[in-house]
Structure 1
Amino acid sequence: MHMPYDTLPRIAQDTALFLDFDGTLVELAARPEAVVIPPTLTSTLAALYGQLGGALALVSGRRLSDLDAFLAPLQLPAAVEHGGQRRNAEGLLISSPATDLRAALQAAEGLLQRHPALQLERKNLALSLHYRHAPDLEGLCLQVMGEAVASSPGLQLMHGKCVVDLKPTGVSKGTAIAAFMDEAPFAGRVPVFAGDDVTDEDGFEQVLRMGGHAIKVGPGPTLAKHRCDSVAQLAQWLLSARAPSRESGPERRHA
Structure 2
Amino acid sequence: MPGARLLPDLARCAFFFDLDGTLAPLAPTPDAARVPAGTIALLQRLQQACGAVAIVSGRSQAVIDQMLAPLRLPVSGLHGAQWRGPDGRIWELSVNEDAAGRLLASLSAIADRYPGIRLEDKGLSYALHYRQAPEREAEIRLEACAAAEAVRDDYVVQYGKMVVEVKPRGVDKGQALERFMETEPFAARLPVMAGDDLTDEPAFAVVARLGGLAIKIGEGPSCARANLADPAALARWLEILLPPAGHRTGPALGN
Q: Name the TM-score, length of structure 2 as normaliser.
A: 0.90
Q: Are 1:8 and 1:226, in contact at CA under 8 Å, matched by a contact in 2?
A: no
The one-letter amino acid paired with 1:36 is R
2:20 is paired with a residue whose SS is coil
The one-letter amino acid paired with 1:145 is A
Q: Which residue of 2 aligns with 1:44?
A: 42
The one-letter amino acid paired with 1:118 is I
Q: Which residue of 1 aligns with 2:187?
A: 187
The runs of at least 4 consecutive aligned structure 1 residues that moved more than 3 Å come to 6-11, 243-246
Q: Which residue of 2 aligns with 1:251?
A: none
1:121 is paired with a residue whose SS is strand
Post-superposition offset of 1:114: 1.6
Q: What is the Cα-based RMSD across aligned positions, in Å?
A: 1.5
2:199 is paired with a residue whose SS is helix
Partners of 1:112 and 1:124 in 2: how far apart?
17
- Give the number of equivalent residue pairs: 240
Q: Which residue of 2 aligns with 1:145?
A: 144
Partners of 1:244 and 1:104 in 2: how far apart?
50
| 2:81 pairs with 1:84 | yes
The answer for unaligned runs of 5 or more in structure 1 is: 1-5, 247-255
1:206 is paired with a residue whose SS is helix
Q: Are 2:177 and 2:203, in contact at CA under 8 Å, matched by a contact in 1?
A: yes
Q: Are 1:8 and 1:227, in contact at CA under 8 Å, matched by a contact in 2?
A: no
Q: Are 2:95 and 2:154, in contact at CA under 8 Å, matched by a contact in 1?
A: no
Post-superposition offset of 1:238: 1.1
Counting only pairs closer than 5 Å after superposition, residues 63-82 of structure 1 correspond to structure 2 as 63-82=60-79
Q: Are 2:216 and 2:227, in contact at CA under 8 Å, matched by a contact in 1?
A: yes
Partners of 1:179 and 1:7 in 2: how far apart?
26
Partners of 1:229 and 1:138 in 2: how far apart?
25
| 2:211 pairs with 1:211 | yes
Post-superposition offset of 1:8: 6.2
Q: Deviations over 1:179-228 (max 9, x none)?
A: 00000000010001010001110000011111111110111111001111
Q: Are 1:104 and 1:145, in contact at CA under 8 Å, matched by a contact in 2?
A: no
The one-letter amino acid paired with 2:114 is H
Deviates more, 1:83-92 or 1:237-246: 237-246
Partners of 1:184 and 1:106 in 2: how far apart?
41
Post-superposition offset of 1:10: 4.8
Post-superposition offset of 1:73: 1.2
Deviates more, 1:103-112 or 1:77-86: 103-112
Q: Name the TM-score, length of structure 1 as normaliser.
A: 0.90
2:79 is paired with a residue whose SS is helix
Q: Are 1:173 and 1:203, in contact at CA under 8 Å, matched by a contact in 2?
A: yes
The one-letter amino acid paired with 1:224 is A
CA shift in 2, pair 1:169/1:145, >3 Å: same
Partners of 2:7 and 2:109 in 1: how far apart?
46
| 2:152 pairs with 1:162 | no
Select 1:17's aligned residue among 10, 15, 36.
15
Q: Are 1:146 and 1:157, in contact at CA under 8 Å, matched by a contact in 2?
A: yes
Partners of 1:68 and 1:243 in 2: how far apart?
26
Partners of 2:7 and 2:102 in 1: how far apart?
44
Q: Which residue of 2 aligns with 1:122?
A: 121
The answer for unaligned runs of 5 or more in structure 2 is: 247-255
Q: Are 2:118 and 2:128, in contact at CA under 8 Å, matched by a contact in 1?
A: yes
The one-letter amino acid paired with 1:142 is R
Post-superposition offset of 1:29: 0.1
